[in-house]
Amino acid sequence: MSKAIFPSQLVLIVEDDQLLKMLTTDIVEEAGFVALSAENADEAVALLAARSDIAMLLTDINMPGSMDGLELAHMVRDRWPHIKIIVVSAHGEASSAVPAGSLFFHKPYKTEAMISAIDSLIDAGKPGSGGQVYLNV
């Protein structure tokens, strides 16, 4: 099912809830990409530092570890600006705090909407699509 035409189509899911991680993995695969997962921000940073084929970060905000998902999203924007970012949270007020160009999803979200967002966000960054295009949120 994977669309692995381009090397950088790995989606890093950062989620400490196992059931949500299963669902998000299925969503990413349904969108046609390969899912990689981390339990917290520290694990995510280690993976991001070790690999260069991660195209997207899909992170929850509330999780244990040295930083939350929002801090992780800002760090990723600074250190790896080519990586697309989707932040999810049950608390809608966090939507205005996500890094510019990233998307925010309020939990619970519709799976179709998430599939479509992953697809369009990654497609927007593909070669020939005009380079990095940040969606307005």
Residues in touch with another protein (CB under 8 A): 1, 19-20, 22-23, 26-27, 30, 108, 111
Min CB(111)–another protein separation in Å: 5
CB of 23 or CB of 34, closer to another protein: 23
Min CB(135)–another protein separation in Å: 22
Length of the chain: 137
- Residue the block writes with tokens 């992170």: 59
Min CB(63)–another protein separation in Å: 16
Does the bond joining 64 to the residue before it have cis omega, within 30 degrees of 0? Answer: no
CA 51: distance to chain centroid? 15
Spatial contact of 15 and 59, defined as CB atoms under 8 Å apart: yes
CB of 39 or CB of 71, closer to another protein: 39
Min CB(40)–another protein separation in Å: 20
128: left (phi over 0), alpha (psi -120 to 50) or beta: left
CB of 1 or CB of 50, closer to another protein: 1
CB of 26 or CB of 123, closer to another protein: 26
CB of 32 or CB of 101, closer to another protein: 32
Greatest Cα pair distance in the chain: 39
Min CB(27)–another protein separation in Å: 7
Spatial contact of 85 and 74, defined as CB atoms under 8 Å apart: no
Q: Residue 2: phi, psi to the nearest 5?
A: -65, 145
